[in-house]
Amino acid sequence: MRVTGRAAIMPPIQINLALHASNKLIMPKILIVSNCPSPNTHRLQQAVRDGCQHENIESIEIRCKEPWHADSHDVLWSDGVIIGTTENFGYMSGAIKDFFERIYYPCLAETEGKPAALFIRGGLDGQGAKTSVERILSGLKWKLVQPPLVLKGDFRDEFVIQCTELGTIMSAGLEAGIY
Protein backbone atom coordinates (compact mmCIF):
# COMPACT_ATOMS: atom_id res chain seq x y z
CA MET A 1 0.00 0.00 0.00
CA ARG A 2 1.32 3.43 -0.90
CA VAL A 3 1.24 5.77 2.08
CA THR A 4 0.76 9.44 1.25
CA GLY A 5 0.30 12.74 3.08
CA ARG A 6 1.05 12.87 6.78
CA ALA A 7 1.90 9.19 6.99
CA ALA A 8 4.49 9.63 4.25
CA ILE A 9 6.62 11.84 6.47
CA MET A 10 6.80 9.21 9.17
CA PRO A 11 9.89 7.04 9.30
CA PRO A 12 9.40 3.75 7.45
CA ILE A 13 7.28 1.39 9.50
CA GLN A 14 9.28 -1.62 10.47
CA ILE A 15 7.97 -4.89 11.71
CA ASN A 16 9.70 -4.30 14.95
CA LEU A 17 7.47 -5.34 17.76
CA ALA A 18 7.83 -3.43 20.98
CA LEU A 19 9.12 -5.46 23.87
CA HIS A 20 8.32 -5.35 27.55
CA ALA A 21 11.23 -5.37 29.96
CA SER A 22 10.41 -9.06 30.31
CA ASN A 23 11.01 -9.45 26.55
CA LYS A 24 7.39 -10.44 26.02
CA LEU A 25 5.92 -9.17 22.77
CA ILE A 26 3.47 -6.32 23.12
CA MET A 27 0.47 -6.59 20.85
CA PRO A 28 -1.06 -3.12 20.93
CA LYS A 29 -4.82 -2.99 21.13
CA ILE A 30 -6.82 -0.27 19.42
CA LEU A 31 -10.43 0.60 20.09
CA ILE A 32 -12.27 2.38 17.27
CA VAL A 33 -15.56 3.94 18.33
CA SER A 34 -17.44 5.83 15.67
CA ASN A 35 -21.03 6.44 14.72
CA CYS A 36 -21.93 5.56 11.16
CA PRO A 37 -25.30 6.98 10.14
CA SER A 38 -24.54 6.91 6.41
CA PRO A 39 -22.58 5.02 3.73
CA ASN A 40 -19.93 7.76 3.74
CA THR A 41 -19.35 7.49 7.47
CA HIS A 42 -19.15 3.71 7.12
CA ARG A 43 -16.40 4.24 4.56
CA LEU A 44 -14.51 6.46 6.98
CA GLN A 45 -14.77 3.92 9.78
CA GLN A 46 -13.58 1.15 7.47
CA ALA A 47 -10.70 3.33 6.26
CA VAL A 48 -9.52 3.92 9.82
CA ARG A 49 -9.70 0.21 10.46
CA ASP A 50 -7.78 -0.57 7.26
CA GLY A 51 -5.17 2.02 8.20
CA CYS A 52 -4.65 0.41 11.60
CA GLN A 53 -4.03 -2.85 9.77
CA HIS A 54 -1.31 -1.46 7.51
CA GLU A 55 0.53 -4.29 5.81
CA ASN A 56 3.73 -3.55 7.70
CA ILE A 57 1.99 -3.78 11.06
CA GLU A 58 1.24 -7.30 12.09
CA SER A 59 0.79 -7.12 15.78
CA ILE A 60 -2.28 -4.95 16.22
CA GLU A 61 -5.54 -6.10 17.78
CA ILE A 62 -8.60 -4.04 16.88
CA ARG A 63 -12.06 -3.65 18.29
CA CYS A 64 -14.26 -1.54 16.06
CA LYS A 65 -17.62 -0.65 17.55
CA GLU A 66 -20.61 1.59 17.16
CA PRO A 67 -20.77 3.81 20.25
CA TRP A 68 -23.92 2.15 21.57
CA HIS A 69 -22.03 -1.17 21.76
CA ALA A 70 -18.82 0.11 23.31
CA ASP A 71 -18.30 0.43 27.03
CA SER A 72 -15.69 1.12 29.68
CA HIS A 73 -14.34 -2.44 29.44
CA ASP A 74 -13.41 -1.80 25.83
CA VAL A 75 -11.62 1.40 26.79
CA LEU A 76 -9.74 -0.27 29.64
CA TRP A 77 -8.80 -3.15 27.30
CA SER A 78 -7.30 -0.77 24.74
CA ASP A 79 -3.88 0.82 24.45
CA GLY A 80 -5.24 3.56 22.23
CA VAL A 81 -8.66 4.86 21.25
CA ILE A 82 -9.82 6.34 17.95
CA ILE A 83 -13.04 8.31 18.18
CA GLY A 84 -15.09 9.19 15.13
CA THR A 85 -18.17 11.34 15.19
CA THR A 86 -20.46 13.20 12.90
CA GLU A 87 -21.26 16.77 13.78
CA ASN A 88 -24.92 17.04 14.67
CA PHE A 89 -26.49 20.31 15.75
CA GLY A 90 -23.06 21.84 16.24
CA TYR A 91 -21.97 19.13 18.68
CA MET A 92 -20.71 15.54 18.71
CA SER A 93 -23.29 12.91 17.78
CA GLY A 94 -25.71 11.78 20.46
CA ALA A 95 -24.31 8.26 20.22
CA ILE A 96 -20.76 9.39 20.98
CA LYS A 97 -22.00 11.61 23.80
CA ASP A 98 -23.81 8.62 25.29
CA PHE A 99 -20.59 6.58 25.02
CA PHE A 100 -18.61 9.24 26.89
CA GLU A 101 -21.30 9.57 29.53
CA ARG A 102 -21.09 5.84 30.24
CA ILE A 103 -17.32 5.48 30.23
CA TYR A 104 -16.27 8.78 31.81
CA TYR A 105 -16.28 7.97 35.51
CA PRO A 106 -15.45 4.24 35.22
CA CYS A 107 -12.36 5.21 33.19
CA LEU A 108 -11.36 8.53 34.70
CA ALA A 109 -8.93 7.27 37.30
CA GLU A 110 -7.41 4.56 35.13
CA THR A 111 -6.90 5.96 31.65
CA GLU A 112 -4.90 9.13 32.17
CA GLY A 113 -2.53 9.62 29.24
CA LYS A 114 -4.32 7.15 26.97
CA PRO A 115 -3.31 7.79 23.35
CA ALA A 116 -6.29 9.01 21.36
CA ALA A 117 -7.13 10.22 17.89
CA LEU A 118 -10.24 11.90 16.57
CA PHE A 119 -11.96 12.26 13.24
CA ILE A 120 -15.07 14.26 12.53
CA ARG A 121 -17.45 14.23 9.60
CA GLY A 122 -19.48 17.39 9.24
CA GLY A 123 -21.81 18.23 6.41
CA LEU A 124 -20.82 21.88 6.63
CA ASP A 125 -18.53 22.53 9.56
CA GLY A 126 -17.33 20.09 12.26
CA GLN A 127 -15.77 22.61 14.61
CA GLY A 128 -18.48 22.25 17.27
CA ALA A 129 -18.05 18.48 17.33
CA LYS A 130 -14.28 18.85 17.53
CA THR A 131 -14.40 21.29 20.42
CA SER A 132 -16.94 19.24 22.35
CA VAL A 133 -14.95 16.01 22.07
CA GLU A 134 -11.67 17.76 22.85
CA ARG A 135 -13.19 19.12 26.05
CA ILE A 136 -14.13 15.62 27.22
CA LEU A 137 -10.74 14.18 26.21
CA SER A 138 -9.13 16.94 28.19
CA GLY A 139 -11.27 16.01 31.22
CA LEU A 140 -10.24 12.38 30.84
CA LYS A 141 -6.62 13.50 30.39
CA TRP A 142 -6.28 11.40 27.25
CA LYS A 143 -3.45 12.39 24.92
CA LEU A 144 -4.32 13.34 21.34
CA VAL A 145 -1.40 11.89 19.42
CA GLN A 146 -2.26 13.65 16.18
CA PRO A 147 -4.34 16.69 15.29
CA PRO A 148 -8.06 15.94 14.94
CA LEU A 149 -9.24 15.37 11.37
CA VAL A 150 -12.20 17.55 10.44
CA LEU A 151 -13.74 16.30 7.20
CA LYS A 152 -16.32 18.81 6.08
CA GLY A 153 -18.25 19.75 2.98
CA ASP A 154 -19.06 17.50 0.07
CA PHE A 155 -17.67 14.04 0.61
CA ARG A 156 -14.34 13.48 -1.12
CA ASP A 157 -12.22 10.36 -1.65
CA GLU A 158 -9.40 12.28 0.00
CA PHE A 159 -11.28 11.86 3.31
CA VAL A 160 -10.89 8.11 3.02
CA ILE A 161 -7.15 8.45 2.50
CA GLN A 162 -6.87 10.78 5.48
CA CYS A 163 -8.74 8.33 7.70
CA THR A 164 -6.53 5.49 6.54
CA GLU A 165 -3.48 7.54 7.48
CA LEU A 166 -4.96 8.38 10.86
CA GLY A 167 -5.34 4.69 11.60
CA THR A 168 -1.85 3.87 10.41
CA ILE A 169 -0.27 6.61 12.46
CA MET A 170 -2.00 5.39 15.60
CA SER A 171 -1.11 1.74 15.12
CA ALA A 172 2.46 2.44 14.00
CA GLY A 173 3.01 4.70 17.00
CA LEU A 174 1.62 2.17 19.43
CA GLU A 175 3.61 -0.64 17.89
CA ALA A 176 6.77 1.42 18.07
CA GLY A 177 6.00 2.29 21.68
CA ILE A 178 6.32 6.02 21.06
CA TYR A 179 3.04 7.00 22.70
* Residues in contact with ligand FMN by the rule CB under 6 A: 37-38, 40-41, 86-90, 121-126, 152, 155
Identity of the residue, 106 or 123, whose beta carbon is nearer to ligand FMN in the bound complex: 123
In three-state secondary structure terms, 43 is helix
Q: How far is the CB of 100 from ligand FMN (least distance, A)?
A: 18
In three-state secondary structure terms, 125 is coil
Q: How far is the CB of 95 from ligand FMN (least distance, A)?
A: 12
With both helix axes pointing from N to C terminus, report the angle between 157-176 and 39-52 in degrees, rounded to the nearest 10.
30
Euclidean distance between CA atoms 33 and 7, whole angstroms: 21
Identity of the residue, 42 or 69, whose beta carbon is nearer to ligand FMN in the bound complex: 42
Say which amino acid occupies 119. F
83 near 120, Cβ under 8 Å? no
Identity of the residue, 99 or 175, whose beta carbon is nearer to ligand FMN in the bound complex: 99
Identity of the residue, 84 or 173, whose beta carbon is nearer to ligand FMN in the bound complex: 84
Identity of the residue, 45 or 171, whose beta carbon is nearer to ligand FMN in the bound complex: 45
User: What single DSSP character describes residue 52?
Assistant: H
Residues paired with residue 121 on neighbouring β-strands, in sequence order: 86, 151
45 near 32, Cβ under 8 Å? yes
Q: How far is the CB of 131 from ligand FMN (least distance, A)?
A: 12
Q: How far is the CB of 82 from ligand FMN (least distance, A)?
A: 17
Q: How far is the CB of 6 from ligand FMN (least distance, A)?
A: 22
Residues in the chain, how many? 179
